[in-house]
Chain A
Amino acid sequence: MRTVEADVLVIGAGGAGLRAAVAAAEADPALRVALVSKVYPMRSHTVAAEGGAAGVISDDDSFDDHFRDTVSGGDWLSDQDAVELFVREAPGELTRLENLGCPWSRTPDGRVAVRPFGGMKIERTWYAADKSGFHILHTLFQHSLKYPGIQRYDEYFGLDLLVEDGQCGGVAALEIRTGEPVLFLAPAVIFATGGAGRIYPFTTNGGIKTGDGMAMAYRAGIPLKDMEFIQYHPTGLPGTGILITEGARGEGGILVNRDGYRYLQDYNLGPPDPWPRKKAMELGPRDRLSQAFWQEQRKGRCIETPSGEVVHLDIRQLGEEKIDERLPFVRELARTFVGVDPVHEPIPVRPVVHYVMGGIDTDIDTRTPVEGVYAAGECACVSLNGANRLGSNSLTELLVFGARAGRAAAERARDASRPDSADWRARAAASFERAETLRARTSGSETIAGLRTELHALMESCVGIYRDADMLQRACDGIGRLRERYGDLAIQDRSRVFNTELMYALELGAMIEVAEAMAHAARQRRESRGAHQRLDFVDRDDDRFLAHSLAHHGGDGPPRISTKPVTITRWEPAERVYGGTAQ
């Protein structure tokens, strides 16, 4: 076992991880910041975000408006102190990124341009055409090369967070290139490992988004918060699930059903004119739009394709010039993957799993209940997004809270004593043993693809856009059985060098754990709120459920669910209103 000692350990090198590493290195250049990721930083899924990042910049905009849009967008499950802090720190973070070279799109006079986004009252989404996440990630990655204090460990696979007596010692990991076990020791560990969309079969998420970091924290005793809230993005390409940005609607695209009818007007999002109008019709929030699709499907008003039913996203009215300027990637993706040129034809789209609102439980300083462990970005739940995230808040979130995590971890690293390798080697050895057993197991009746396919089927059919008690019971029971059967999994590849089958097996284990938390939290929440819609409890129920859910790892058994109050500072729960009467 190789040992690497660091002052701050960052797991995950996407937007949040890079921002955190830079913040820690800036706070104290003498710190040894170890940036560990299972992929090279530029492969991280931040790269695939398209539409942009929200931050108040216009004269007619205000922090209060961004606050209200976010809180009502989250159906009042957001912690309002987190939202308040977020909207105030957002413009500074986005400006800083500009100062580092991020190629934000511009107005003719050279200012940063902003575009409308769903659920946002005013244009406040900064964008780099429709590759905003790509540019943010590459700008941060390239900038991070300036800091000698940041030591990268690319292609190291995290196995376990090491915790004893409420103290954190570091992380056990495998170097993928060699299979060598590595013990990363640090008094401060930041999780920035992204989401878990791959738990579902149809997702915008890249293959790497398997919830490993969530599962590591969860297994080590840190609860996962609000895991029942899964965002379906309303516009993914059929077949592949490739994301077509909300920016397409921000620029003026419309959604129509098989009759060419703008069906969103039937779901409290109209009237359709005058258009475009903020917080109405196609610029409603993602949960409402995905739910409207589901209803249209039930009414038989969608369009059949070999890859499932779709509606049409029509951006033809923008014209070729504007499409090529603002949405060139959308045009390229549609042409390549569905053979449609959106300049001339509407794009077929359907809702697709996109984002996990829940995650590792943190406070507004990104601290988890275990001292020395922090989390930021999609893997975390700082309770900014509540029951439904607004588009373009997550890219800003990973900057604001990534930076806070880096600073908080640096501060702890200054004061905390260093974990002693002798104390943690046995703990790490147990973790390596678990992976080694999986690698060396010669017989077993289960396969990765077999278990994954069953997990996918359960999640899609039982923990989708609408759920009910029967479905969720089936999901809880079924995933529990998958957890048990996972113990009988065998793989073919016995090698150590770049054994991706072993990685997939470990990722599958993480996905089963995280999925079980999702299903149990969803079963417990007998109300409908944001992205969690119950067919058997159709209304929001603030008396009983204005609370965060916390899933606690159950060892060899199912998770235990508890709750935690929502922080309401200044805006009491009210009705969410979109469409003509929206404010």
Chain B
Amino acid sequence: MSERMVRIEVLRYRPETDDEPTWQGYDVPCRDDWVVLDALNHIKDHLDGTLSYRWSCHMAVCGSCGVMINGEPKLGCKTFLRDYPDGVRIAPLENLAIERDLVVDMAGFGDRLAAVQPYLMPRGAAPAGTYRQTPAQLDRFQQYAMCINCLLCYAACPQVGLNPGYLGPAALALAHRYDLDSRDAGRDRRAEVTASENGVWECTFVGECSAVCPESVDPAGAIQQMKLACSLDYVLHPLRKGASS
């Protein structure tokens, strides 16, 4: 397998010693089939043990290794070095606070996920056995259930950068996933959060979240559908009330 030296620049930041992030360069002998994560692991093992970053599965499903690669949010394990003949510059995901080197603060994201109540709220008691759900009903929400929480969409979204309270693409898409599930009756309760000032109306439909999503979840599409559903609720709500009184 052919090998070539690749210049890898990494944005370093160690809060105990550094005032601000600085670039550090490494020349890495890379194999033709290496992804960016392989190069980071080579640096860690052989060139500089002090470099910190998150990773685990190496197969684009655990969502740990999201970073900016030449300015674009990408998974390190799915981005091949051969596609960057002039080398790469790796930085932590944008719009998120840096904890150290390529490690960003995840706590805020966890709060946003919890806020949208991403779990089934059934109509009544659970059935004896499983619910019936046809493939077509599954199809309605399945795409939105594929999010790996890698946060690439938060790094891409201009609104996340402007409004720190914004729930953001992944959390809203997950709410939509449950809203669309035939087993769920929790949409109104979730809407108290998803249609709030930090919810779907913050989205200006730039669509970058869907463009960078490695799992083709299409959060932008989810958010537009949620906006539409909210608007319909607003129009129909008095009628529904009238009908039930």
How far, in whole Å, are A280 and B57 apart by their CA atoms in the complex? 31
> Is A207's beta carbon under 8 Å from chain B?
yes
How far, in whole Å, are A500 and B14 apart by their CA atoms in the complex? 12
> Is B231's beta carbon under 8 Å from chain A?
no
How far, in whole Å, are A181 and B126 apart by their CA atoms in the complex? 43
Q: Which stretch from A235-243, A285-293, A341-349, A472-480 is at the chain B interface?
A: A235-243
> Is B232's beta carbon under 8 Å from chain A?
no
State how many angstroms separate the Cβ of A577 from the closest Cβ of chain B.
34
> Is B196's beta carbon under 8 Å from chain A?
no
Of the residues B64, B100, B131, B137, contact of A39 by C-beta under 8 Å: B64
How far, in whole Å, are A154 and B103 apart by their CA atoms in the complex? 14
| Interface residues in B85-107 (C-beta closer than 8 Å to A) | 99-101, 103, 106
> Is A421's beta carbon under 8 Å from chain B?
no
Contact between chains at A145 and B118 (CB < 8 Å): yes
B118 contacts across to A, CB distance below 8 A = 142, 145
B60 contacts across to A, CB distance below 8 A = 336
> Is A580's beta carbon under 8 Å from chain B?
no
Contact between chains at A48 and B57 (CB < 8 Å): yes
How far, in whole Å, are A522 and B49 apart by their CA atoms in the complex? 34
Mask for A204-242, Cβ within 8 A of B = 1, else 0? Answer: 001110000000000000000000000000000001101
| Interface residues in B1-48 (C-beta closer than 8 Å to A) | 1, 14-17, 33, 44-46, 48
Q: Which stretch from B141-149, B152-160, B199-207 is at the chain A interface?
A: B141-149
B122 contacts across to A, CB distance below 8 A = 99
Contact between chains at B120 and A100 (CB < 8 Å): yes
State how many angstroms separate the Cβ of B239 from the closest Cβ of chain A.
30
A135 contacts across to B, CB distance below 8 A = 145
> Is A108's beta carbon under 8 Å from chain B?
yes
How far, in whole Å, are A206 and B41 apart by their CA atoms in the complex? 13
> Is B184's beta carbon under 8 Å from chain A?
yes
> Is A492's beta carbon under 8 Å from chain B?
yes
Contact between chains at A145 and B113 (CB < 8 Å): yes
Contact between chains at A110 and B132 (CB < 8 Å): yes
How far, in whole Å, are A448 and B50 apart by their CA atoms in the complex? 12
Contact between chains at B14 and A106 (CB < 8 Å): no
How far, in whole Å, are A206 and B181 apart by their CA atoms in the complex? 31
> Is A319's beta carbon under 8 Å from chain B?
no
> Is A98's beta carbon under 8 Å from chain B?
yes
> Is B224's beta carbon under 8 Å from chain A?
no
Contact between chains at B106 and A40 (CB < 8 Å): yes
Contact between chains at A243 and B119 (CB < 8 Å): no
Size category, A interface: 35 or more
> Is B62's beta carbon under 8 Å from chain A?
yes
Given contacts A242-B58, A493-B50, contact A106 B15 (CB under 8 A): no
Of the residues A42, A146, A152, contact of B148 by C-beta under 8 Å: A42
How far, in whole Å, are A103 and B131 apart by their CA atoms in the complex? 11
**Residue of chain B at shortest CB distance from A238:** B33
> Is B242's beta carbon under 8 Å from chain A?
no
How far, in whole Å, are A106 and B142 apart by their CA atoms in the complex? 12
> Is A562's beta carbon under 8 Å from chain B?
no
Which positions in B face A, CB cutoff 8 Å?
Answer: 1, 14-17, 33, 44-46, 48-50, 52-64, 78, 99-101, 103, 106, 110, 113-114, 117-120, 122, 126-127, 129-135, 137-138, 141-142, 145-146, 148-149, 174, 178, 181, 183-184
Q: Which 5 A-B pairs rank lowest in CB-CB distance, beginning with the nearest?
A: A110-B132, A206-B56, A449-B45, A101-B120, A492-B49
| A-B contacts besides A492-B49, A497-B100, 18 pairs, CB < 8 Å | A43-B56, A43-B57, A43-B64, A44-B62, A48-B62, A99-B126, A101-B183, A103-B138, A103-B142, A106-B134, A110-B133, A138-B145, A142-B119, A240-B58, A243-B59, A307-B1, A329-B61, A448-B45
List 7 A–B pairs whose Cβ atoms lie within 8 Å, in order of A's numbering: A40-B106, A45-B56, A98-B131, A99-B122, A142-B113, A449-B45, A504-B44
Which positions in A face B, CB cutoff 8 Å?
Answer: 39-40, 42-45, 47-48, 95, 98-101, 103-106, 108-112, 131, 134-135, 138, 142-143, 145-146, 152, 154, 177, 206-208, 239-240, 242-243, 306-307, 329, 333, 336-337, 448-449, 491-493, 495-501, 504
